[in-house]
Amino acid sequence: MKIPMIITRGIILMSLSSSLSSPLYTTTAFSSISNIIQSKYPIIFEQSFQTLTSSSLCWIDKQFDNEFVRLDNTAAAAAAAAAATTVCTHQVDDIEEDPGNDNHEKEEEEEEEQQQQQQQPRNTIIAKVLIRRIIYKCLDKYSTVSSKLEVEEALRYYALPKDLQDELFSKYGGTFKPKTWYDAMNQLRDYCQRLICNNDDLDDDNHNNDSIDGYYKAMLWEHVLNHPITSYVPVQCQSCGHIIPDEYNTDPINSNTTAAAAATADADANIGLTEVEPTFEEQPFVRTGWFRGPRLLKPKVFQLDCPKCKHVSRWYRSRSPQMILNPNRWGRLCGEQEDLRLDLANYLSIDEGIGSFTRIFAICPTPNDCGDITDVYFLKACRHSYSHNKDHNQAVGDDNVNNNNNEVEEESMNRYYQIIDEARRDNTGSKTQSNTVNGYAIHRSKLTATEVSKEIQNAVKDYYSDDNNSNSNSNNNKAWYDIT
């Protein structure tokens, strides 16, 4: 890379525009940047980290880069003032440009390497903020999980529409059409049991009960995720089904302003949607939440005067499984889907994390028991898989058997790590079930598993901190985005 230079009386002075003379980015010096960006764009900042897609990460990178440049320029100005009184002792007679093109490729490689080095502190900070977001989100979720009794009551509460009963019976079979969601869950359990019974690869001679039970739960959870009970349902007229588009109607850069909220209200009015106060009966179920743009931090009911059939519908964001499971054209957005999956996983005694992933975190209220356990999980998974498929006539102490065990474990580990590594390096998110780039964002930071574990443990400590530093966004004291 050619270095910009100013030549005066045989003395070379580095140009202040050169990144080589600019103050280096350091994680410590710029650790407050996430707080600065959050204060400017609280809503879009929160949403970007909540569901980290490729486009969300691009927006985050851009904001961090802008703040890095702003702070860097401030430091550079101070450096320039100091340099004005400093005499450079590197004397030369003249400077000649390299007329050839032979070094262009090398220069490009050096420039790319230098760019990566400059971006590394940014990537590290973003990864740490992301880890904290994941931990806080997980701890928040499990502090609000509905009891099994509450979920079962909600499953039994509604009579399913006839067309939905027909759809479920046609797809999953059984002895009768499910009348409620509770019937539908039992129907799904029976359906998965039949699939296992008809699977010749899962005979009792080669698999013990724990292995079959694990396979059954994984299968059941996969079908739950693809079942109408957890599907996305757009907000709509509850009479004719006219859909209200869940689209963002304001400038994301100014989404936290009062003007943005007013713009959203105007866009709502154009389609017959207004915010109204909840009734006495609705109050226990209503929560705040994003819909078509920023909303005031107060629970509201959305009332729709349908432009097609003139029917008046009422809908609101809710954490209650009873409201989320309403099958009568009740909107079930992404937040409600996530809450319901958590409740159903708890109700069915299933680990919610089954699916495509890039890392495995152990998260609990005890910091020392938390960490990145990906390696441990894979090792146990490989041994568990082999123990259920080995020849039980082999002698336990046979060296050949032990060697074969090690080879099988190593082969399985390598296969798993290849899949995981591909997903971690994918900046599009297409390698994961949720199409997110959490694994990529952490991978590019070059944090080790030990360092990731440390960040997890620090996040848990901060979540349960007794400091006097109030966090206005939650009950915990230090904000998830605060890594200072």
Each residue's pLDDT, cut to its tens digit, for the chain (484 residues) gives 333 322 222 222 222 233 333 334 555 556 789 999 998 998 889 889 988 889 999 999 999 999 888 887 776 666 666 666 554 444 444 444 455 555 667 777 777 777 778 789 999 999 999 999 999 988 887 788 999 999 999 999 999 999 999 999 999 999 999 999 999 999 999 999 999 888 766 555 445 555 677 778 888 988 998 999 999 999 999 999 999 988 765 444 444 455 656 666 778 888 999 999 999 999 999 998 878 876 766 899 999 999 999 999 999 999 999 999 999 999 999 889 989 998 998 899 886 655 457 888 888 888 998 899 888 777 765 554 444 444 333 333 444 545 555 665 567 667 778 888 898 999 998 887 677 899 999 999 999 999 999 999 999 999 988 643 333 344 447 899 999 8
**Which pLDDT does position 110 carry in this prediction?**
74
Taking the C-alpha atoms of residue 442 and residue 128, their distance in angstroms, rounded to an integer, is 8
- What 3-state class would DSSP assign to 470? coil
- What are 141's two structure tokens? 């979720």
Q: Retrieve residue 441's tokens.
A: 């964002």
pTM of the entire predicted model: 0.57
State residue 86's pLDDT score: 52
Q: How far apart are CA 461 and CA 456, in angstroms?
A: 9
Give Dmax over CA atoms of the chain in angstroms: 96
Q: For 332, which DSSP code?
A: B
What is the model's pLDDT at position 222?
Answer: 85
Q: How far apart are CA 90 and CA 106, in angstroms?
A: 25
> Distance between CA atoms of 350 and 456, rounded to whole angstroms?
23
Quote the pLDDT of residue 469: 39
For residue 183, the one-letter residue type is D
Closest CA relative to residue 285, chosen from 323, 243, 247: 323
Q: In the prediction, which pLDDT does 135 show?
A: 92
Give the dihedral sign, CA 213/217/223/227: positive
CA–CA–CA angle 350, 353, 356 (5° rounding): 130
**Total length of the chain:** 484
CB contact set of 224 (below 8 Å; sequence gap of 6+): 188, 230, 341, 344, 348, 350
One-letter identity of residue 143: S
Other beta carbons within 10 angstroms of residue 327's beta carbon come to 19
Distance CA 385, CA 103 (A): 53
- Decide: residue 385, CB within 10 A, 0-12 exposed, 13-18 middle, 19+ buried: middle
Distance in angstroms (rounded) separating the CA atoms of residues 416 and 436: 19
- What was the pLDDT predicted at 484? 85
pLDDT of residue 170: 97
Work out whether the CA dihedral 66, 67, 70, 72 comes out positive or negative: negative
pLDDT given for residue 386 in this prediction: 44
Return the closest-CA partner of residue 296 out of 324, 319, 320, 262.
262
Identify the residue whose tokens are 């109030």: 470
